[in-house]
Amino acid sequence: MKDAACRLTPLGAMVLALLREDDMHPYEMIRLLRQRRDDRIVPITNGTMYHTVARLEKQGLLAEVGVDRDGNRPERTTYTLTDAGDAALVDWVRRELATTDHPAEFRVALAEAHNLPREDVLELLRERLAGVAADRDAHGAALAGALAGGVFPQYLIEVDRQHALLEADHTWLAAFIERLTDPAFVWGSHAATDRYLAHREAARQ
């Protein structure tokens, strides 16, 4: 499903990840994402959510499983994740964890990394770590060369900032990889907590 993964947007990946938890209607998805503050990562509106769900259904990545109505409220269509959607999500998260080309997508991939086995995530993040190190070193060399060549620092502010960000990213990645190698770091699926169930119930209202 690599072609489908290439067409996924960050919000599309988040929708598929939600449906990995359970069947849901779009309004519940919106409320859950906002409860979890995932709208910090990706802007979420009713319009973008319903458009994303429609596109994913057209691509065969999710499917309608029922329609219900509560009182005078509009009908709500519930969707389920298809096998193709599950494969597309996994492919997308794998790709975005490893590549350094899409920093915004990486934030979503990190948020959904728990959908992959621990060893896969470690391998992908080590690949990313090498890429970040190469980018950091290239920016550092360019900055040092420009300064040595007499370029005034005022013209190198963006390069200096990017070098600092890459250094910080490398430091964080290396530390997180070390944490994830520890078996005591809980990973993967686990029993639903009371807090999770309460959030799900509130989002359904």
Specify the higher pLDDT residue, 156 or 104. Answer: 156
First to last CA, the chain: 34
CATH number for 17: 1.10.10.10
d(CA 86, CA 80): 10
- SS3 state of residue 118: helix
Q: Which of 60, 33, 66 is nearest to 49 (CA)?
A: 33
Q: How many domains does the chain have?
A: 2
Average of pLDDT values for 164-193?
92
Nearest to 98 by CA among 136, 128, 129: 128
pTM score of the predicted model: 0.88
Instruction: Summarize pLDDT for 35-84 with one digit per residue, the tens.
Output: 999 999 999 999 999 999 999 999 999 999 988 877 667 788 999 999 99
Domain boundary residue, one of 67, 83, 111? 111
Mark which of 85, 111, 137 sits at the end of a domain: 111
- pLDDT above 80: residue 99: yes
Q: Is residue 33 part of a domain?
A: yes
Q: Are 9 and 177 in contact (CB under 8 A)?
A: no
Q: Is 1 a residue whose pLDDT tops 60?
A: no
* pLDDT tier for residue 158 given thresholds of 50, 70 and 90: very high
Mean pLDDT on 111-137: 97
Residue 73's region, left for phi above 0, alpha for psi from -120 to 50, else beta, is beta
Q: Are residues 6 and 106 in the same domain?
A: yes
14, 104: one domain? yes
Residue 196 domain-assigned (yes or no): no
Query: What amino acid occupies position 33?
Result: L
Q: Kindly state the average pLDDT of the residues 156-174.
A: 98
Whether 54 and 61 have beta carbons less than 8 Å apart is answered as: no
Residue pair 94/117 in contact by the 8 Å Cβ criterion: no
Please provide the average confidence, as pLDDT, over all residues in the chain.
92
Same domain for 44 and 106: yes
For residues 7 and 104, membership in a common domain is answered with yes
Q: b/e for 159-195, b at 16 or more Cβ within 10 A? A: beeebeebeebbeebeebeeebeeeeeeeeeeeeeee
Task: Tell me if 198 is assigned to some domain.
Answer: no
Residue 65: inside a domain, yes or no? yes
Quote the pLDDT of residue 30: 95
Mean pLDDT comparison of 1-10, 34-43, 122-131, highest-scoring range: 122-131
Each residue's pLDDT tens digit, 100-120: 999 889 999 999 999 999 999
Check residues 99 and 204 and name the one with the higher pLDDT.
99
Instruction: For 7-16, write each residue's pLDDT tens digit.
Output: 899 999 999 9
Q: Determine the pLDDT at residue 197.
A: 67
Euclidean distance between CA atoms 86 and 115, whole angstroms: 10
Query: What tokens appear for 5 in the block?
Result: 């993964």
pLDDT of residue 74: 73
The mean per-residue pLDDT over the stretch 188-202 comes to 70
Domain assignment of residue 42, given as a range: 2-111
Q: Is residue 195 part of a domain?
A: no
- Same domain for 15 and 55, yes or no, is yes
Both tokens of residue 29? 């998805």
Q: CA dihedral in degrees (84, 88, 94, 97; nearest 10)?
A: -150
Residue 70 lies in a domain: yes
pLDDT for the residue numbered 159: 96
